[in-house]
Each structure stands twice: as structure tokens, then as C-alpha cells.
């Protein structure tokens, strides 16, 4: 499932990782995602979203706390980018490079 998603999004095959190349935390996470994806196919996206949120929260924290408006702005920018990437994905997967949704709007 993850290989197909990677190929669809990037247009190339995912790199093959041997278990010896991964650190134990990453290996455990991937194993947990594979096991839980049988019940919930979006578990990888959910865990990724939580991780992104936590990393942003940690990086924006200072002695006063977190500036909520800045955090929401960063999350909104990431959400907007992911929407744009999702729109371009079908065009790229169908090998219509340069003929994506965005290039069509610019040419009109």
C-alpha cells in the first residue's frame, strides 16, 4: 500500500530499505503502521499529521509559549500545499507532465 502511494505521489519507485538501515524507532513505527493499516488505511496519514503538529509546536515554543496565530498560519500553509500537491498528482501519474491543473489555468 505504501509503495503504491509513494509511486503515485512521486512518479518513481520508493527506495528499498533494509531493516539494518533503519534506526529502531523508525523500524518500530513502520511495523506499527503496517499492522494498524489493516484496520485503518489512513493510520499513516493520521500519525504523520500528529508528528507534523508536534514538531511545529515544539519548534515554535519560546519562554512565553506558542504564538497561536503563527502556528495556525504554518498549519494552513501546509494544508494548502498538500491540497495543491493532491490536485497535481493525477496529472503527474498519468504522465501528463507540464499539463497539470495549474498549468492549464495559467494558459487560459
Model pLDDT, residue 14: 58
Q: What is the mean pLDDT of the chain?
A: 77
pLDDT of 56 > 70? The answer is yes
What's the predicted TM-score (pTM) here?
Answer: 0.55
pLDDT of 88 > 60? The answer is yes
Model pLDDT, residue 105: 47
pLDDT of 94 > 80? The answer is no
What's the average model confidence in pLDDT over 31-59?
89
**Three-state secondary structure string covering the chain:** CHHHHHHHHHCCCCCCCCHHHCCHHHHHHHHHHHHHCCCCCCHHHHHHHHHHHHHHHHHHCECCECCHHHHHHHHHHHHHHHHHHHHHHHHHHCCCCCCCHHHHHHHC
Amino acid at each position: 500500500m505504501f509503495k503504491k502511494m509513494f509511486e503515485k505521489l512521486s512518479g518513481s519507485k520508493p527506495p528499498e530499505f533494509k531493516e539494518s538501515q533503519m534506526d529502531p524507532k523508525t523500524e518500530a513505527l513502520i511495523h506499527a503502521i503496517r499492522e494498524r493499516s489493516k484496520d485503518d488505511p489512513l493510520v499513516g496519514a493520521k500519525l504523520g499529521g500528529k508528528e507534523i503538529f508536534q514538531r511545529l509546536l515544539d519548534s515554535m515554543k519560546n519562554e512565553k509559549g506558542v504564538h497561536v496565530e503563527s502556528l495556525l498560519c504554518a498549519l494552513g500553509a501546509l494544508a494548502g500545499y498538500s491540497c495543491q500537491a493532491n490536485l497535481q498528482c493525477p496529472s503527474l501519474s498519468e504522465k501528463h507532465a507540464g499539463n497539470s491543473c495549474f498549468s492549464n489555468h495559467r494558459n487560459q
